[in-house]
Amino acid sequence: MNILQKIFSENLTELDKLNTRPAVMKNIYKMVNCGNPSFGGAMYHCRDCNFLKFVPFRCHSRFCPSCGTKYAM
């Protein structure tokens, strides 16, 4: 969890009290849960070495610091 995810997850109740627009809250929830394995992911298997790797799904939001850099380029 990066620093922005931590800050926003600790202050979600305060943001709800401020009557934040639904579109903004949707992106905040997506960013906070980005890369969280409990929201699913993909399992990859190497047939040569029999290695399994789980990769959690990302949010693909421009607001997210890890996903948003892809959109900035």
DSSP per-residue letters across 17-41: HTT--HHHHHHHHHHHTTT-GGG-E
Residue range 16-61, pLDDT digits in tens = 888 888 888 898 999 999 999 999 999 999 999 999 999 999 998 8
Read off the pLDDT band of 72 (50, 70, 90).
low
- CA-to-CA distance for 10 and 36, rounded, in angstroms? 16
Extract the tokens encoding 60. 């693909």
- The pTM for the full model equals 0.74
Q: Is 12 left (phi over 0), alpha (psi -120 to 50) or beta?
A: alpha
* Structure tokens belonging to residue 2: 């990066």
By three-state DSSP, how is residue 41 classified? Answer: strand
